[in-house]
Amino acid sequence: MITFIKEKYRRLSPARKIALTFLLVILSGAVLLWLPISNKDGGFFPFLDALFTATSATCVTGLFTSPIATQFNLFGQIVMMLLIQIGGLGLMTLMALFVLAMKNKLSMKEKLAMQEMLNKNNIFDMRTFLVDILRYTLFFEGLGVVILAIRLMPEFGIWQGFFHALFLSVSAFCNAGFDLFGADSLIGYRGDLTLNFVIMTLIVLGGIGFAVWFDVRDKLHDLFHRRISLRKALRTLSTHTKAVLLMTAILIFGGALVFFLLEYPNPLTFQNYSGLDMGLASLFQSVTLRTAGFATMDLSTTTVATKFLMMILMFIGGSPGGTAGGIKTTTFFVLCAFIYTMLKGQEHVKAFHRLIPRETIIRASNVMVINLITLFVGIFLLCVSDGALGFVNLAFEAVSAMATVGLTLGITTSLSAIGKVIIILLMYAGRIGIATLLLSLIKMKRVDDRPIAYPNGNILIG
pLDDT tens by residue, the chain, 462 residues? 566 565 665 666 666 777 788 888 899 999 999 999 999 988 999 999 999 999 999 988 888 988 898 999 999 999 999 999 888 876 556 555 555 555 555 555 555 555 554 555 555 566 777 778 888 888 999 999 999 999 999 999 999 999 999 999 999 998 888 998 877 788 888 888 999 999 999 999 988 888 888 888 888 888 887 778 878 888 888 888 999 999 999 999 999 999 999 999 888 888 778 888 899 999 999 999 977 888 888 898 999 999 999 999 999 998 887 778 889 999 999 999 999 998 888 888 888 888 998 888 998 998 899 999 999 999 999 999 999 999 999 999 999 999 989 899 989 999 999 999 999 999 998 888 776 666 556 655 555 555 667 777 667 666
How far apart (Å, rounded) are the C-alpha atoms in residues 138 and 293? Answer: 21
How far is CA 249 from its chain centroid?
17
How far apart (Å, rounded) are the C-alpha atoms in residues 118 and 244? Answer: 15
Count CB atoms within 10 A of the CB of residue 436.
21
SS3 content of the chain, % helix, strand, coil (to 5): 70, 0, 30
φ and ψ at 40, to 5 degrees? -65, -30
Provide the 3-class DSSP secondary structure of residue 159. Answer: helix
How far apart (Å, rounded) are the C-alpha atoms in residues 38 and 219? Answer: 46
Q: For residue 353, how many C-alpha atoms fall within 13 Å in the half-sphere facing its CB?
A: 4
Provide the 3-class DSSP secondary structure of residue 237. Answer: coil
φ/ψ bin of 443: left (φ > 0), alpha (ψ from -120 to 50), beta (otherwise): beta
φ/ψ bin of 235: left (φ > 0), alpha (ψ from -120 to 50), beta (otherwise): alpha
Q: Could you tell me which CATH class the domain 348-438 is placed in?
A: mainly alpha
- Nearest 5 degrees, angle CA 407-CA 412-CA 416? 150
Q: For position 287, what pLDDT does the model report?
A: 93
Given a contact cutoff of 8 angstroms between Cβ atoms, the answer to whether 380 and 435 are in contact is no
Q: What is the reported pTM? A: 0.88
Q: For position 140, what pLDDT does the model report?
A: 92
Q: Provide the residue ranges of all domains of the chain, joining segments of one domain with +.
A: 348-438
Segments in 193-238 forming alpha helices (H):
193-207, 210-224, 230-235
Q: For position 6, what pLDDT does the model report?
A: 58
Residues 6 or more apart whose Cβ sits within 8 Å of residue 304: 392
| Helix or strand (DSSP H, E) at 355 | strand 354-355
Given a contact cutoff of 8 angstroms between Cβ atoms, the answer to whether 432 and 404 are in contact is no
